[in-house]
């Protein structure tokens, strides 16, 4: 049976959080990349794929599962992968309500908080995309100014407070709380909220480089969090080996 196949352009952009989730979940996948055009023309291979009707929304990224099922929308794909990663050996032992080694919070309120953090980073992605592709120079400068001076700093303040609200910001946004069950200590752990946040700052702001972007300098907890995600071994390895791309 073929493994997972992720289809996207040869870019980080909207596809990378899915690739980061696959890497963090230790799921082998085929990283199918279509040629990207900065001038907006459609590549022949993508036009053909789209015309086949296979991408469910006529867009990328889309994921083909080993069973041949197909999913679109980057956020939905990332969450699906992270939920899959939760199907650990411990689940088979009926420890479901206690612990899962996955990348998705078990508690439904926490899962919704993870969605909130993901959606809030998507707002930033969309703001960057808006000024990046704006052709009117004056309009572009206005949008970029608003993003740099208002949208981004306001959101960063909120993100810093959200991170601080769990374990004083020394861990991840969500995941298991610190508690002992029998002899095991369960700690805050990586979830898709962290992957999404990290992907925005790494993929969109730091040009994909393993460096902390200057925008996080005034937010020490977020800067440490960025480093914490960057140093998750599977994420570090993926970043070192992924193909370089312009955006």
Ligand X SMILES: N[C@@H](CCC(=O)N[C@@H](CS)C(=O)NCC(=O)O)C(=O)O
Residue ranges in contact with ligand X by CB under 6 A: 13-14, 50, 59-61, 73-75
Q: Which two tokens stand for residue 170?
A: 């020394």
Comparison of 126 and 237: residue with beta carbon closer to ligand X: 126
**Residue with smaller CB distance to ligand X, 59 or 165:** 59
Question: Beta strand pairing status for 179-181 and 4-9?
Answer: unpaired
Residue with tokens 């996948």: 29
Q: How far apart are CA 146 and CA 152, in angstroms?
A: 9
Considering the complex, state which of residue 19 and residue 189 has its C-beta at the smaller distance from ligand X: 19
Least separation in angstroms between residue 60's CB and ligand X is: 4
- Ranges assigned E (strand) in 79-233: 179-181, 184-186
Q: How far is the CB of 221 from ligand X (least distance, A)?
A: 27
C-beta of 76: minimal distance to ligand X in Å?
8
Q: Which residue matches tokens 């208002």?
A: 150
Give the Cα separation of 63 and 224 in Å (integer): 31
Smallest gap, in angstroms, from Cβ of residue 147 to ligand X? 18
Could you tell me the smallest distance in angstroms from the CB atom of residue 222 to ligand X? 23
Using CB atoms within 10 Å of the CB of residue 18, give its burial: 0 to 12 exposed, 13 to 18 middle, 19+ buried. buried
Q: Which is nearer to ligand X, 3 or 58 (CB)?
A: 58
| 59 vs 87, beta carbon nearer ligand X | 59
Phi, psi of 181 (to 5 degrees): -125, 120
């Amino acid at each position: 049976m073929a493994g997972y196949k992720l289809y996207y352009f040869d870019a980080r952009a909207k596809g990378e959080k899915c690739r980061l989730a696959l890497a963090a979940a230790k799921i082998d996948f085929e990283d199918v990349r279509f040629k990207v055009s900065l001038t907006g023309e459609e590549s022949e291979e993508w036009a053909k794929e789209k015309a086949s009707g296979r991408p469910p929304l006529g867009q990328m990224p889309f994921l083909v599962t080993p069973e041949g099922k197909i999913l679109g929308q980057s956020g939905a794909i990332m969450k699906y992968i992270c939920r899959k990663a939760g199907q650990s050996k411990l689940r088979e032992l009926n420890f479901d309500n206690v612990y899962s080694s996955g990348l998705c919070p078990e508690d439904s309120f926490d899962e919704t908080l993870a969605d909130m953090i993901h959606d809030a980073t998507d707002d930033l992605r969309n703001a960057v995309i808006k000024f990046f592709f704006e052709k009117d120079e004056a309009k572009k400068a206005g949008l970029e100014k608003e993003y740099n001076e208002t949208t981004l700093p306001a959101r960063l303040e909120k993100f810093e407070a959200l991170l601080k609200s769990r374990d004083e910001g020394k861990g991840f946004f969500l995941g298991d709380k610190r508690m002992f069950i029998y002899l095991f200590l369960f700690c805050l752990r990586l979830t898709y909220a962290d992957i999404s946040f990290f992907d925005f700052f790494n993929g969109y702001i730091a040009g994909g480089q393993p460096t902390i972007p200057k925008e996080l300098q005034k937010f020490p907890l977020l800067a440490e969090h960025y480093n914490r995600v960057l140093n998750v071994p599977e994420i570090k390895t993926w970043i070192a080996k992924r193909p370089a791309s312009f955006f």
